[in-house]
């Protein structure tokens, strides 16, 4: 059996999915990265959220998160609020405008998730989830290996 070029296929698939999500979220004036962060803040609005939380949740670099946060702040979707006990730490908070756009983002993601769920039967979903987890664990192990070598 020939070895497939899975990495290439994953990149193509993720790029296409990101492009489709961008198209859907652009109807609300956002790109998918901005929408993801607004949705995360909306779903975690009862907690204190810091930039590091966003970096860890989405596995993206600090500079990328800073750029998105700056853009969302500029458009008045979020604000940075200093803590009373430590003025150096600033939590990220949705504005009223940001909450409205976050709700639109949630609706868009629910629509897309429903479409994806309807593509597969229960057996396919189970296999797909298992394969995703297996690949995710493999990548984590490889990254850990790279750090220690």
Q: Is residue 19 part of a domain?
A: yes
- Taking 60 as the threshold, does the pLDDT of residue 21 lie above it? yes
- Taking 60 as the threshold, does the pLDDT of residue 78 lie above it? yes
What is the per-residue pLDDT across 28-43, written as a single tens digit (0 to 9) for each? 889 999 999 999 999 9
Specify the CATH number for the domain of residue 97.
1.10.10.10
pLDDT on residue 87: 74
Q: Which of 7-21, 84-98, 109-123 has the weakest average pLDDT?
A: 84-98
DSSP letter for each residue of the chain: -PPP-HHHHHHHHHHHHHHHHHHHHHTTT--HHHHHHHHHHHHTTTS---HHHHHHHHT--HHHHHHHHHHHHHTTSEEEEE-SS-TT-EEEEE-HHHHHHHHHHHHHHHHHHHHHHHHS-HHHHHHHHHHHHHHHHHHHHHHHHHHH-
Enter the tokens of residue 16.
């296409």
pLDDT on residue 88: 78
Q: Is residue 35 part of a domain?
A: yes
Q: Considering its fold, how many domains does the chain have in total?
A: 1
| Mean pLDDT of the region 57-79 | 94
pLDDT band at 4 (very low <50, low <70, confident <90, very high): confident
Helix (H) or strand (E) run with residue 94 in it = strand 90-94
- Taking 90 as the threshold, does the pLDDT of residue 74 lie above it? yes
Q: Is residue 93 part of a domain?
A: yes
**Range(s) of the domain holding residue 20:** 6-148
pTM of the model: 0.83
- Taking 60 as the threshold, does the pLDDT of residue 1 lie above it? no
Q: Is residue 56 part of a domain?
A: yes
pLDDT on residue 24: 94
Q: Is residue 29 part of a domain?
A: yes
């Amino acid at each position: 059996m020939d070895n497939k070029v899975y990495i290439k296929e994953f990149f193509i698939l993720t790029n296409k999915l990101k492009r489709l999500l961008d198209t859907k979220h652009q109807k609300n004036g956002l790109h998918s990265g901005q929408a993801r962060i607004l949705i995360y803040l909306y779903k975690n609005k009862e907690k204190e959220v810091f930039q590091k939380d966003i970096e860890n949740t989405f596995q993206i670099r600090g500079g990328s998160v800073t750029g998105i946060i700056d853009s969302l702040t500029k458009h008045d979707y979020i604000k940075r609020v200093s803590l009373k006990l430590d003025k150096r730490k600033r939590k990220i908070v949705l504005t009223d405008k940001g909450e409205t756009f976050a709700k639109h983002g949630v609706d868009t993601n629910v629509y897309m998730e429903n479409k994806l769920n309807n593509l597969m039967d229960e057996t396919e979903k189970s296999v797909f989830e298992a394969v995703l987890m297996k690949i995710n664990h493999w990548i984590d192990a490889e990254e850990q290996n790279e750090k220690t070598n």
